[in-house]
């Protein structure tokens, strides 16, 4: 697989086989990603790899918080407070395409809720990773974190693995820090589910849409 294939073929996988991933494979993925660039080589990333009972405990805690109407309190604001175009339309289309792939009707609130809770189940992935950054770092280091995060996803493809970046699993950072014994000095950036894709599931067959190059590029 070349770099172009790795980038263009990456999707957010939302159904996984229960095949375990070896520690050697996970180590190799992170070992590759650590060569990501960062301003003045600060390497601001902190990664926690979670499997087994601890992952199940996180799922239980997330769902319990959600069902008890505990308001999410992420360490940062991921989305805008007010949606405007063209972002509003793109977000709507993404949701409609996903629900279509899941065969969930627009008015089926029960199935929509269950689909939402599957985020907290990591879509059945055997492994999830959580990415943290020290609170002392500025916005530039978050840019570095994004490059590192993307490299983890691409390196995983080399091993035949799929991933799903999940901002939803950063809804309750205090739960994550407590269960993973991460100090308060670290902000939780995002989670990343990882495993071997279950290609028999329709949800892994749909692709989100992309604007053409000329729609967002200016040539000067």
The CATH number of residue 82's host domain is 3.40.109.10
Residue 1 above 90 pLDDT?
no
pLDDT of residue 75: 96
Residue 77 above 90 pLDDT?
yes
Task: Count the residues in the chain.
Answer: 220
Rounded CA-CA distance 116/110 in Å is: 10
pLDDT of residue 39: 97
- Over the chain, what is the mean pLDDT? 95
pLDDT of residue 106: 79
pLDDT of residue 160: 97
95 within a domain of the structure (yes/no): yes
108, 179 Cβ separation under 8 angstroms? no
3 within a domain of the structure (yes/no): no
Sign of the torsion formed by the C-alpha atoms of 214, 2, 91 and 210: positive
CA-nearest of 56, 68, 74, 60 to 173 is 74
* Share above pLDDT 90 across residues of the chain, in percent, rounded to a whole number: 88
169, 190 Cβ separation under 8 angstroms? yes
30 within a domain of the structure (yes/no): yes
Q: What confidence tier does 10 reach under pLDDT thresholds 50, 70, 90?
A: very high
Q: What is the pLDDT of residues 90-130, one digit of tens each?
A: 999 998 888 888 888 878 888 888 888 999 999 999 999 99
* Share above pLDDT 70 across residues of the chain, in percent, rounded to a whole number: 100
Mean pLDDT of 188-196: 97
Q: How many domains does the chain have?
A: 1
Mean pLDDT of 3-20: 95
Range scoring the smallest mean pLDDT among 35-49, 92-106, 131-145, 203-217: 92-106
Helix-, strand-, coil-residue percentages of the chain, each rounded to 5 = 45, 15, 40
216 within a domain of the structure (yes/no): no
Rounded CA-CA distance 77/97 in Å is: 25
Residue 8 above 90 pLDDT?
yes
2 within a domain of the structure (yes/no): no
The token pair at 76 is 């940062």
Residue 28 above 90 pLDDT?
yes
Q: Is 108 exposed, middle or buried (0-12, 13-18, 19+ CB in 10 A)?
A: middle
217 within a domain of the structure (yes/no): no
Residue range of the domain that includes 106 = 13-210
Mean pLDDT of 153-163: 98
Q: Count CB-CB contacts under 10 A for residue 170.
A: 22
22 within a domain of the structure (yes/no): yes
Residue 33 above 90 pLDDT?
yes
pLDDT of residue 134: 98
Phi, psi dihedrals of residue 170, rounded to the nearest 5°: -105, 10
Residue 191: C-alpha distances to residues 63, 93, 125, 132, 176 (Å): 16, 23, 12, 9, 10
Residue 24 above 90 pLDDT?
yes
Mean pLDDT of 25-54: 98
44 within a domain of the structure (yes/no): yes
């Amino acid at each position: 697989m070349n770099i172009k294939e790795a980038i263009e073929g990456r999707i957010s996988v939302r159904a996984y086989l229960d095949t375990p991933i070896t520690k050697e494979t996970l180590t190799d993925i992170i070992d590759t990603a650590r060569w990501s660039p960062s301003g003045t080589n600060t390497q601001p990333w902190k990664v926690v790899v979670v499997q087994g009972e601890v992952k199940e405990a996180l799922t239980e805690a997330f769902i319990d918080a959600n069902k008890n109407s505990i308001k999410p309190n992420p360490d940062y604001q991921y989305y805008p407070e007010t949606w405007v175009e063209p972002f509003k339309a793109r977000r709507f289309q993404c949701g409609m395409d996903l629900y279509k792939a899941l065969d969930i009707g627009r008015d089926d609130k029960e199935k929509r809720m269950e689909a939402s809770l599957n985020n907290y189940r990591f879509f059945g992935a055997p492994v999830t990773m959580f990415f943290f950054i020290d609170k002392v770092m500025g916005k530039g280091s978050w840019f570095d974190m994004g490059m590192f995060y993307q490299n983890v996803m691409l390196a995983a493809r080399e091993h035949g693995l799929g991933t799903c970046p999940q901002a939803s699993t950063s809804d309750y950072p205090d739960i994550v820090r407590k269960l993973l014994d991460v100090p308060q000095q670290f902000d939780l950036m995002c989670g990343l589910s990882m495993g071997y894709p279950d290609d028999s599931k329709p949800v892994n067959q749909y692709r989100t849409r992309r604007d053409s190059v000329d729609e967002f590029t200016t040539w000067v």
